[in-house]
Amino acid sequence: MTKSLQNFLKIAISLALGIAIIWLLYRKTDFKELMSIVRESNLSIILFSLVFGLCGHIVRSLRWGVFLNSLGYRPNKVRLVLAMLGNYAVNFLIPRGGDIWRCAAVSRYEKIPFSKTLETFLVDKMVDFVTSAFLVLLSVILYIDFFISYFHENPDYGNQIIRLLNSPWLYVAIVVIIIGLVLMFTVFKNTRPVRKIYKFLNEILQDMKIIVRMKEKKQILLYTILGWICFYLFFYVCFYAFDFTKNLGPIAGLVVFSMCNVGILIPTQGGMGPWHFMAISSLVILGVAYNQASAFAGAVFTIQSIWIIVFGALAILALPYVKRDVRQFSESSNNNESMNLSK
């Protein structure tokens, strides 16, 4: 099988998965009622939410710049913002492809080794993953009384979770994964693919040591908090566009926002399908009617996605015309500075 065919199949399968989930969610929906709900909403509020989305992308790109700075590189901030916007647009074509594209674009235009942009990207993503997990835990804790009462009133959901945890297939899968990892790093440790993985993980470890010792920890923390506040508002402001969500409150908004972030971990185009599933399911649990939740998910996702695609495409076109910042450290001076940071 050729590489181009493999890439085509990955895109096709992801797209098919997203469409299948959308179809399952909306197959019994009364679209006349759904469109009536959307027409009665205040779509200008959803348009206003886009301001927070843009701010979130800017802050997140600046944080990535701090990680690159810690390794001795000074990429142009405008180009980082454009690459970040392009990242999310490319994700609508190739799931997770935008992440690699972003690293490659900054590497090409800023003359930074691709391995360094990729390593800092992974560390950047790790920070977001930990933050996302914290938000899920926080939202559950803040809404714990509601969840307890809900599962008490709807025991079928709790029983499904118990059946999953008691399923022998779950433990078979865990054992298979553990055995696979053990074999990879023992029996097959001298094979070329595993050596590459070892080398890459070692490079990440070394760079993480530099980043851990960096002076800008407070700056990273500040950008992380500001970025997630912006993305939370990007989502939560949309609650005020609909009569059935505007009174749910910020904690309920945090619950739905956190669940949607879990949904987009599934690699589909722009999170299409899994995002809708988590948004609709969470809103229904919070007492919103299914058709209303479907209208909310459809309107918010469509408007925000169009904005991301249009702005991302414009950002990609603008990238080549941004001048490179000549204030770049060499890799040797980078290592020296990194050692100084550690002292």
pLDDT in tens, 39-90: 999 999 999 999 999 999 999 999 999 999 888 899 999 999 999 999 999 9
Alpha helices in the chain (DSSP H): 3-26, 31-40, 43-70, 77-91, 97-110, 114-142, 144-153, 155-166, 168-184, 192-213, 217-236, 250-263, 274-285, 290-318, 331-342
- Of the two residues 262 and 310, the one the predictor is more confident about is 310
Q: Does 199 score more than 80 pLDDT?
A: no
Quick one: pLDDT at residue 209? Answer: 73
Q: What percent of the chain has a predicted confidence (pLDDT) above 90?
A: 39
Quick one: pLDDT at residue 330? Answer: 43
Q: Cβ contacts of residue 60 below 8 Å, gap of 6+?
A: 84, 124, 223, 227
The total of other beta-carbon atoms located within 10 Å of residue 122's CB is 16
Alpha helices in 27-76 (DSSP H): 31-40, 43-70
Q: What is the mean pLDDT of residues 22-47?
A: 87
Quick one: pLDDT at residue 337? Answer: 45
Quick one: pLDDT at residue 230? Answer: 96
Q: What is the mean pLDDT of residues 284-299?
A: 91
Poorest-confidence range of 28-37, 139-148, 288-297? 139-148
244, 41 Cβ separation under 8 angstroms: no
Poorest-confidence range of 3-7, 16-20, 141-145, 230-234? 3-7
Helix (H, G, I), strand (E, B) or coil at 19: helix
d(CA 126, CA 130): 6
| Top-confidence range, 31-35, 157-161, 268-272, 280-284 | 280-284
User: Residue ranges per domain, the chain?
Assistant: 29-152+217-336
Mean per-residue pLDDT of the chain: 83
Q: Does 210 score more than 70 pLDDT?
A: no
Q: What is the mean pLDDT of residues 192-206?
A: 76
Q: What is the mean pLDDT of residues 184-208?
A: 75
Q: pLDDT grade, residue 343 (50/70/90)?
A: very low
Q: What is the pTM of this model?
A: 0.80
Phi, psi angles (nearest 5°) of residue 190: -95, 0
Residue 271 DSSP one-character state: G
- Of the two residues 151 and 67, the one the predictor is more confident about is 67
Q: pLDDT grade, residue 153 (50/70/90)?
A: low
Q: Does 121 score more than 70 pLDDT?
A: yes
